[in-house]
Structure 1
């Protein structure tokens, strides 16, 4: 028995060493790829197409007004409709939308308050209710916690000019809006997740479709079955992308960077949020998800130090330097400092714990609701399952 345990320990030790070495090389390569990806951005002139922006809301986030306002200050010459939706008449987001209407009296802003449930996903039920108010042939869906630059719509519409493109999505960086824990999440979003997406897209290893932005034509949305088709899907953004690809069209990822506002105020919020994200990706892309551990060289190097102390600590130092290269390159591309290196390394450690835990999760928390994950990628409310 002792021999078996020693063999397992040796195997795990060597695995940690290999992961750390490859992770260090990957981090440096990904930083270079990231800079090149966004160096390809080109200015786009203002457009005249009629566009509907869909914003499903839930609660008043720290900077919700400012985030929504960025969508109303676009360099856009055509009709622009902003549809905001909530499912409760007492939702604090309603006051924010009313303030937005007062601040932008000439903007076309519509608020939909509708509690109708269409499936297990509250977000999709909200979208289905909101979509009835949408009037224009171009639809842009984005999460409530996204802020954008003035040329955002111009860039999306220019990308949709390609007849082979069915939808457009955007990579996003993090911004901590609620103190330490939100900044820690922002560090993970920016220096780990965003870096990995850019690397995967640049090397044709990933084909994402993300809630940060999904822009498409109305007829494309109708052809994939509308939002109703995804009412019981947890990874609705991914599923929408798959629906578009099933039509023989691509989901484009232009070098357009948007901002994801992080508002976590505690470790428990961070854990629930990132565990839900990890479990979701695990179910829709299992083997690529297994491979994302390569982006965490610092914690794997520390694990290697348990097996080979001196070599492992040297690897940890090299990993920290590689992560510094990432931080410097990403900050330069984003145009500002997101978080210090020590915070990026701390998040790497937490992310590794979340990564391990995510393989054992079969239910997730979504804004106070517990959702049970099914093997086909669909979800059911825990309360509904109990009643059945």
Structure 2
């Protein structure tokens, strides 16, 4: 984490004149939806447009989008309502429909639950000062949990998923390109065939980055910048489903790497060792628990994650539950997205 956050981009003034399309795929209502979506219209960037994209003419989020457009008359804001589905991946269909209306040279894909500070666009666009960079993304942290299921979600993300992404990027162990905050140059997207070939992929953001890097020969840049993403879960079952979905994504993107993540889950193995009565088990359990909590505190300091510190006492439970999630996602072939059920076949989605 320290190595990652030391990196900064210098001399990026010219690229910040590039026209940008900030695309927000939207599907239904979420907690703090207005507060998150309106941040797209309040960016400190001179030449950009915002495109909110929905597929359903009766989407309950539409009045919120209209309100944002009315409140920001000085901004170029387009609301795309298009039922075109290029495949089973609804999020990708939203992105595709928006790109058909986009005028920018750089596309920014930012999920509806992302809270963007005013300097977000400048930070992610600055990556493209290096002409070898074709795709870029930023970190994002979960925040503002209201109860235990949402706190477990936050810890899963901030204390597990985010450090894993940073480790993969810094060590080049695997490609990491989270789609909730992702940018790609228009010409690069065209070179890899656009979004249509990705329409059936479960992890379309990873596949987009992979094609830009491995097939088109561009670099991927991970910006040392942290956006915020809300957690919105109604109960423990919703947490379980989302966790299994996350691990299914990881497995689909990198099956071998996902399998070996089992070996780095220290707390469950330390607890098992203690239950079996192994030598020095109290010391070993205490050492593993202390190391896990310490690294989580360090990660929280880099992310400025005060919420995670408040709920840190839940981390051992989250790690124990994480083993069950790991096994479930390794054998489970069904997944859910926005109320729709799919079967996963070789990393692709087939709607049931």
Question: 2:320 — aligned with what?
Answer: 349
Partner of 1:368: 339
Kindly state the Cα deviation for residue 83 of structure 1 after the two structures are TM-superposed: 0.6
> In structure 2, do the counterparts of structure 1 residues 168 and 361 end up closer, same or farther at CA, with 3 Å as the change threshold?
same
Matches within 5 A, 1:296-307: 296-307=265-276
Q: Which residue of 1 aligns with 2:259?
A: 290
- Which structure has the higher relative contact order (CA within 8 Å, separation 6+)? 1
**TM-score, normalized by length of structure 2?**
0.93
The answer to whether the Cα contact below 8 Å between 1:302 and 1:313 also exists between their aligned partners in 2 is: no
Residue segments in structure 1 that go unaligned for 5+ positions in a row: 1-33, 383-388
Aligned ranges 1:235-254 → 2 under 5 Å? 235-245=203-213, 246-254=215-223
Shift of the alpha carbon at 1:275? 0.6
Match of 1:156 among 113, 116, 124: 124
Instruction: For 1:140 and 1:129, locate their aligned partners in 2 and report how far apart those are by CA, in whole Å.
Output: 14
- The alignment covers a number of residue pairs equal to 347
> What does 1:7-22 correspond to in 2, within 5 Å?
none
Q: Deviations over 1:311-355 (max 9, x none)?
A: 333322212211221232122212241222212222112212101
Residue 43 of structure 1: how far off its partner (Å):
7.6
Task: Measure the CA separation in 2 of the matches of 1:298 and 1:115.
Answer: 46
- Check conservation: 1:178, 1:264, Cα contact below 8 A: no
Paired residues for 1:190-339 under 5 Å: 190-245=158-213, 246-309=215-278, 311-339=280-308
**Separation (CA, whole Å) in 2 of partners of 1:112 and 1:136:** 16
The alignment status of 1:84 with 2:55, answered yes or no, reads: no
Q: Which residue of 1 aligns with 2:351?
A: 381
Shift of 1:41: 4.1
Gapped regions of structure 2 (runs ≥ 5): none
Aligned-pair distance for 1:150?
A: 2.4
Per the alignment, in what secondary structure is the counterpart of residue 331 of structure 2? coil
Match of 2:156 in 1: 188
Matched residue, 1:24 = none
- Alpha-carbon deviation of 1:295? 4.2
Q: Which secondary structure does the structure 1 equivalent of 2:40 belong to?
A: coil
Following superposition, the deviation at residue 154 of structure 1 comes to: 1.5
Q: By how many angstroms is 1:151 displaced?
A: 2.2
CA contact (8 A) 1:172 1:257 kept: yes
Distance 2:2 2:263 in 1: 20
Match of 2:52, SS? strand
Tell me how far apart the structure 2 counterparts of residues 102 and 183 of structure 1 sit (CA, whole Å).
Answer: 35
Q: For residues 216 and 9 of structure 2, what CA distance do their matches in structure 1 show?
A: 28
In the TM superposition, residue 280 of structure 1 has moved relative to its aligned partner by: 2.1
**Contact kept in structure 2, 1:176 and 1:263, CA below 8 Å:** no
Q: CA deviation at 1:166?
A: 0.8
Return the offset for 1:111.
Answer: 0.9
CA displacement 1:217-248 (0-9 Å, x = unmatched): 11111111111111111110011011101101
d(CA) in 2 for partners of 1:90 and 1:264? 23
The CA distance in 2 between the partners of 1:42 and 1:321, in whole Å, is 35
1:72 counterpart SS class: helix
Q: Deviations over 1:240-265 (max 9, x none)?
A: 01110110112111212222211112
* Equivalent in the alignment of 2:89: 121
The structure having more radius of gyration, on CA atoms, is 1
1:27 is matched with none
- The CA deviation string for residues 100-120 of structure 1, in whole angstroms up to 9 with x for no partner, is 113222111111112222211
User: Post-superposition shift, 1:360?
Assistant: 0.6
1:60 corresponds, among 21, 29, 37, to 29
